[in-house]
Structures are given as C-alpha cells and as structure tokens.
Amino acid sequence: MNKKQTKWSERFSEPTKEVVKRFTGSVNFDKRLALVDIQGSLVHAEMLMIQKIILVKDYKAIEKGLNQIKREVTSERFEWSLDFEDVHLNIEKRLTDIIGDAGKKLHTGRSRNDQVATDMRLYLRDSIDSIINQINHLQKATITLAEEHVTTIMPGLTHLQVAQPISFAHHLLAYVEMLDRDKSRLFDARKRMNFLPLGAAALAGTSFPINRNFVAKKLGFDGIIENSMDAVSDRDFLIEFNSAAAVLMMHLSRWSEELIMWSSPFFNYIEISDSFCTGSSIMPQKKNPDVPELVRGKTGRVYGHLMSLLTLMKSQPLAYNKDNQEDKEPVFDVIDTLEDTLEIFPEMIAELKIFPKNMQAAAMKGYATATDLADYLVNKGLPFRESHGIVAKVVKQAVSKDCDISEFDLSELQKFSSVIDKDVYKYLTLEGSIQSRKHVGGTAFSAVKKAIAKVKIKLK
C-alpha cells in the first residue's frame, strides 16, 4: 500500500491512481476555505470537549495545533498536497503531524459532508458582507457625481431615441436604486443561508451527544438546519447568491454600455480616464473603454456560472454526491469577479469627465419637450388623446422646417390649436420641462436634491 494513504484507504486493495487523484482532488481550489475550515473546527472541538466527548487535554492540543496551522496558512508557509485530496484532509493531516493522536479525534461526530457545507456558508457569508460594503462605496461615488450635476441637463431616452429632458443626476440615481435592490437581494440570500449544517455528519446525524446549537451560536449562525439530509445536500444558498450576483452584474453591464456609448464621439457626453482605457496596436488615435467592455463580458461569465450550478443540482438524489465538489469553482469565480468589478467601478465613476454642454445640445434634438406641449393642452381643457394628435402635427411641421417646436411663433402654434397662448413657451424650454416634474421620483432639480439627501441618510 502507498505510504501516503488517504483516510479511507484501508478499505481498498489498490492505491488510488495519480490521474484519479488529479481528477477527484479539490485542494487546488478549495484551499481558500482553510481559515473558515479552521474556524469551524475550533468551535467543533470546543463543543466536543464541553460535551465530554473528548478530553480537555485533547481539546487544548487541538486548539494549539489549529492555531499554528492558521499562522502557517496566513503566512503562506502551509504545504498543500494532492495526496490528501482536499482542504479538510490536508489540515487534519498537518494537525496530526503536530499534536499526534489527539488530532485524529477532531473529526469525531462530523463528516466532510457537513464540514464543507459549513465552510461554504462561513466563506460566502464573509464574501457577501464584503460585496455589500463595496456596493456602498459605488453608491457613494455615484452620489458624489450626482451632487455635482443636479442641474446638468441631458436627453432621457426610450428606444435609444430622445424622449424627454432629464437631470443627469436623476439618471445616475437610477443606478443607485438598482444597487439598493442588489444589496437587498444579497441581504436576503445571506439571511436564508445563515443556518448551521454541522452535526448532520454524513447524512443521518451522529450518535454522539453533540450540541449543535452551541456551535451555531458560537459561529454566528441564526440557527441550525433541522433536517440532516437537507443540511449536507443543500446548495440553494449558492444558487441564490449567484442569482443575485447575476442581477448585480446585469446592472453594471447596462451602466457600462451607457459609459461606452457616452464616451464615443457620436455622443461625447463623457470622457473615461486614461487609466481605465487602452489604445490600439495599429490605430494610434484609439482610446478604448476596456474596463466597461470587460464588465459587459464578465457578466456573461457570471450568468454561465449560475447555469452551471443549476445544472449541477437538477438531477441529484438525496443526499450528498461527489458532483457537489463542482459547486466551489463557479462560486469562487463569481465572488472574485464581483469583488474585482466593484473595486474598479467606483474609481472609474469618480474620475469621469463630464461635458454638460454636449448633453444639453443633445437634449435639444428630437423634440424632447413635445410631451410638455401635450400636457399644456390638457391643462387648457383638451382631452389627452386630442392633445397628443395636435402635438404630433406640430412635430411633423417642425421636422419639415428643421427647427425646434420652441422656435415657432405664437401665431404658428395657434394654427394647431386656438387654446395655445404666450405662456406656452415656459413649458417648451428644457429647464421648464424638467422643473415641472416636482413629485417624488421626478426629475425636477428640487426633487433630485431631495432624493440625493434621502439616499445619503440611508447609506449612513
């Protein structure tokens, strides 16, 4: 028998082939769970001691050994081996090397099935907290930019056509709202996942007199998972996290698309800082918005991982199956993608150069105040549908004359409706249109200032 035996090798007549070790091993990627694995093991060992399942001296030895391993992992001195397959067996082997037979008692009353399920919850819980904090930073950067551009006028678009004039700050606050919903989804996912699986052992629980509630409280869980089979086989929490991550990336991808469009010479609303762009190897004039383009691309990557997890789980019978080893790499990559994206995005937003004159000039195209003229006619007593038809004719005439509707003389406008009077012009200006929308959620400068103040209080 190979000297480097695994924990179950006594059952087998032949050693595991090297190719099988490589195929089934997970230590190359699950070693990032090492610190939470040690965290869970320390509390598990303490519980075993309190329940008199292991001796106090064994617990003290385990505690000392695990803390030494923690230092080794943190300082990157820990030697990982594929011979021990995963993060759990590597740590257990090292613990036994350090403290002897006492290290072999740590695994009493648990299985790697409930151990890894606990590790993943601990790791993901910390990651969600970090991601939410990063979203807060992005919201703050966006609000700072919005405060500077409350009175900057730009065209609001539908179907990528000029629709109505809006405050640039109002546009930015739409993304702040989206990010708020993203945080809410992550909070919800965190709340549902924060229950302890440890104690379920392989699938049926354990015959040892363990205290699961003690472990749950000590590790910061809100309670325990009641059914042992569900505890070891559930991966809903990973799927739910990835789903929330996919929506978050979708929002950042939409935003990135707008940054790309706005920075093109066809719009020229903004300039993205050189530090977030690259040039061309053949065209010296090029300045490519690589960061937002990559955010768009990485969004598809996150979508793919969600489908991977859903497909992973769709045909699994209860309880634990080796398939579940494949849950980690997608989740780890999603976490890395989110954290990298959310690290760079606030800096990019903070360093944007804005061209208000170009935005306002664009808002003058496309008859952005046509709806305001229709509303004006309604306020004069005409039904909206009739007003809509009248304004459509006004716009048609303006198109043929290549002018804005605000450029018509009063006598020309009165040919379309006799109710039009000289007060109409204050409704046909961009600022007049914006300022008329003072309600909550509207784009009036006063409403936008109130919205910014409200969000700032919420973020505190």
Cα–Cα distance measured from residue 3 to residue 172, given in angstroms and rounded to the nearest whole number: 63
pLDDT score for 5:
54
Residue span(s) of the chain under CATH 1.20.200.10 come to 121-193+234-361
Ranges under pLDDT 70 in the chain: 1-13
Residue pair 91/38 in contact (Cβ under 8 Å)? The answer is: yes
pLDDT of residue 1: 37
Region(s) of the chain under CATH 1.10.275.10: 9-108
pTM of the model: 0.92
Catalytic residues: 159, 280
CATH number of 121-193+234-361: 1.20.200.10
CATH among 3.60.15.10, 3.30.930.10, 1.10.275.10, 3.40.30.10 for 9-108: 1.10.275.10
Nearest C-alpha neighbor of 252 from the set 288, 303, 305, 309: 303
d(CA 132, CA 396): 49
Question: Are 238 and 123 a contacting pair, CB within 8 Å?
Answer: no
User: For position 3, what pLDDT does the model report?
Assistant: 46
Domain boundaries for CATH 1.10.40.30 within the chain: 366-459
Q: Does domain 366-459 have CATH number 3.30.70.141?
A: no
Tell me, what's the pLDDT at 286? Answer: 86
